[in-house]
Structure 1
Amino acid sequence: SVAASLTMLALSNHDAPFALVSGLASPGLGEYVLVVPLGLAAGVLAPLFLRLLAFGKRQFRALPLALPWRMALGGLLMGGIAVWVPEVCGNGYAPIIGILQGQALSVPVPLALLAKIAATALIVGAGAVGGIFTPSLFIGAALGAMVAGAAALIPALPQGDATLIALIGMGAFMAAVSHAPLMAILMVFEMTMNAQLLLPLMAGSILAYAVSRALRSRSLYDVLNRRHAHQAKVQALPDTELMALLEPVIRHLTPATTIDQACRQFEQTRTRYLYVVDEAGQFLGAVSIHQLAALICAAPERREAPVGPLIETAFDLLPAHASLKDAWSMFAMSPLERIPVVDNLDHRRFLGVVSKRNVLDRLRLLAER
């Protein structure tokens, strides 16, 4: 997104991709004060909006009607709303422009907001694909206009520019419903190309996201919902000790092992790494078969030299008290198939290894319970 905007600027196109507004004022004290109630309001309204969409889907699916008839019913009901509030028709772009330019709608903004929420719930519930993204922008703009209008009724409060507050509301509500605040911030910024708007926009979007996330873990997008569900399962894993999955390692190297002896060990074990343990049983590191092969090819005369220079001392380790969750997290970030286990990370007495296969098998069994 940033690269695309920079490319447009490099090609001498300095206009915003979406000509929502022009000549924006600079944010002042009023905007920063109103960011707080606006972010809180967007964070509270977004979960209610998502629950209403889910409720609409459940109610329409319960009807004994085929999908085309359910969609026709949803369109009929939405058309009834449009008779009184025509702004609910379309994707909401025209009423957004009206709000940002201070133009009067056919009904007061609060009624237009409620009508748009109801119409969106009807159409989405009936089974129509899409139609949530731009209505969310409209809801955010209307919410910002309402906050700015409410502040204007209290002269003692610092007054903010209604257009700026509406733009911040667009980003805040989109961040709250999508759980993607960075996307919302960049999107509204690109609509204006006004860098001065970034700070209050970031504050409002992050606040709305935090409140919405605390009230409802599910977002507008299923891909994020699946990711959050997966993370929740990982966090719910019991802190099972790894010692039950520990595998002993019979063959390992010592600092005095020669390169030729290490080659024979690799032939017998057929592994990528051999671990190096001193006489006291302390884990010193590992030798990679790839480094060993490269050394033999480059300097075959060194076959009787010790493996000391080839030892990788910065090697992933798990302490004996680690949990299954700790092992899963390390395997998720490491290409290793086996990770050495030591008594603790200070003394590093080598105990054995735990394999990715055994960890995944145990996780599968726990998930099926």
Structure 2
Amino acid sequence: MAAAGAARGWVSLLAVATRYLNGRQSRLPRRLMAAGLVVGVLAVFYPEVVGNGQALITGLVDEDYSTQQAFILLLVKVSAVAIVFGCGTVGGAMTPTLYVGSMVGFIFSTVLTSLGMEGNHTVAYAMVGMAAFFAVAAQAPLTALVMVVEFSMSGEMIYPLLIGVVSAYGTGRLIRARSMYAASLSGSPESVVNLPMAQVHVHDLARHVVPQVAPDASLDDVSSLMLRNPGDLIFVVKKDGTYEGAIYPDDFLAVRRQMEEKGKSPPPTAGELIRAGAPVLDVGTHLTDALKLFEQTHLPAFPVVWKNTGRLDGVLYRNALFQVITEMMKRESGGDVGM
């Protein structure tokens, strides 16, 4: 219940930030500059807040922060995300939402400890808070449950997580909590969410600006790009835009470990790091077909390619697909479905 109330406040904060900070289109360059300046100043003093929040979640789970440090980082992170989101420089609100949810659980655990509850239960409540908070903020309880289980790799937490997600989602329905994606996904008549599902293809959901390197790029170039885009696929593309393949983070780390174990050896080029046989989506692939492919694999994303020319169009992420299909199903069923 506490997570549901906090999630409703989080979504309201993002909506207020958008209302007051996202003004005329002609002033977009100034807003982007101001947002970058503010976040840059915050990052000088608190570099941990830069990024998608995964490092903060890991630090919280590993108990690297004291209670005071955790509260300060929460305040700074929430402020930075609200400014960036409100100005239109949206770098993503999903993983910051997971972090804020974990902080809700952390605060709840801290309160219980102050009331005399024994034992080290910080990590458990952080996981439950993360799932419950995201379930309400995204209006996607099943997605929240699966994501947190995959993140924590703790199968024994499935029952507490299930109870937390169901309770929070039910409370969110009672207090009329809205999805944080509602405004950004369905704010205009042209939004794909407002179209019939049969008319939407993966090209409409793909992210078209992606990290890419040439086939002959060095291992250091790939490593540098990996550091700037943690967790993302690195796409190998020729100068004419022809798609060659994708480098997956796990494959890259495995190659680096092998090189360290064997000692000096000729470092591979980007083209030699491509995963053979990795699935590729055509730009005209229907959403339901893409969903089936995601269900058959555990990959977080698929390249989207123009099959007729072989050129790279972008990348489709599993979470983006799930969120859009969830919103479409909710719209078609009158708002009663949560994926």
The aligned counterpart of 2:53 is: 92
**Amino acid paired to 2:83:** L
Match for residue 8 of structure 2? 47
Choose the corresponding residue for 1:60, options 13, 21, 44: 21
Selected match of 1:175 from 135, 143, 168: 135
Q: How does 1:189-338 map to 2 (within 5 A)?
A: 189-222=149-182
Candidates 145, 148, 151, aligned match of 1:185: 145
Displacement of 1:131? 1.7
**Deviation at residue 52 of structure 1 after TM alignment:** 0.9
Partner of 2:90: 129
Distance 1:178 1:48 in 2: 13
Q: Which moved more, 1:120-129 or 1:65-74?
A: 65-74
Alpha-carbon separation, structure 2, partners of 1:225 and 1:204: 27
Specify the SS of the correspondent of 1:108: helix
- Equivalent residue letter for 1:144: G
Residue type at the aligned position of 1:139: V
How high is the TM-score relative to the length of structure 2?
0.51
Contact persistence 2:59–2:65 (CA under 8 A): yes
Question: Shift in Å at residue 211 of structure 1?
Answer: 2.1
Query: C-alpha displacement at 1:56, in angstroms?
Result: 0.9
- The 2-side partners of 1:159 and 1:179 are apart by 32
Shift of 1:219: 0.6
Render the CA deviation track for 1:305-363: whole Å, top value 9, x for unaligned. xxxxxxxxxxxxxxxxxxxxxxxxxxx99xxxxxxxxxxxxxxxxxxxxxxxxxxxxxx
The change in CA–CA distance for 1:76 and 1:62 in structure 2 (over 3 A counts) is: same
Contact kept, 8 Å, 1:219 with 1:225, in 2: the verdict is no
Give the SS at the match of 2:40: helix
> Which has more radius of gyration?
1
Q: Which moved more, 1:50-59 or 1:73-82?
A: 73-82
**1:150 aligned counterpart, secondary structure:** helix
Give secondary structure in 2 for the equivalent of 1:99: helix
Conserved? CA contact 1:151–1:159, under 8 Å: no
Quote the Cα distance in structure 1 between the aligned partners of 2:57 and 2:149: 16
Q: Does 1:154 align with 2:154?
A: no
User: Hey, what's the Cα distance between the residues in 2 that align with 1:105 and 1:79?
Assistant: 24
Contact kept in structure 2, 1:85 and 1:106, CA below 8 Å:
no
Does residue 93 of structure 2 align to residue 118 of structure 1?
Answer: no
Match status 1:142 vs 2:103: yes
Task: Give yes or no for the alignment of 1:73 onto 2:34.
Answer: yes
AA of the residue aligned to 2:144: A
CA distance in 1: counterparts of 2:158 and 2:180, whole angstroms: 24
CA contact (8 A) 2:105 2:126 kept: yes
Partner of 1:6: none
Write the distance in 1 (CA, Å) between the matches of 2:150 and 2:136. 19
Which 10-residue stretch deviates more, 201-210 or 58-67?
58-67
Query: What secondary structure, in the 3-state scheme, does the structure 1 residue paired with 2:162 have?
Result: helix
Distance 1:224 1:127 in 2: 10
- How far apart in 2 are the matches of 1:69 and 1:223? 23
In structure 2, the gaps of 5 or more residues are 187-331, 334-339
- Which deviations, in whole Å up to 9, do the C-alpha atoms of 1:30-75 show, x marking residues without a partner? xxxxxxxxxx221111111111111111112236862121111112
Distance 2:126 2:91 in 1: 23
* Distance in 2, Cα, partners of 1:165 & 1:122: 28
TM-score (norm. length: structure 1): 0.47
- Taking the aligned partners of 2:184 and 2:35, their CA distance within structure 1 comes to 28
Instruction: State the 1:103 CA deviation.
Output: 0.7
Kindly indicate whether the alpha-carbon contact (under 8 Å) linking 2:35 and 2:83 is maintained by their aligned counterparts in 1. yes
Name the CA distance, whole Å, in 2 between partners of 1:181 and 1:122. 27
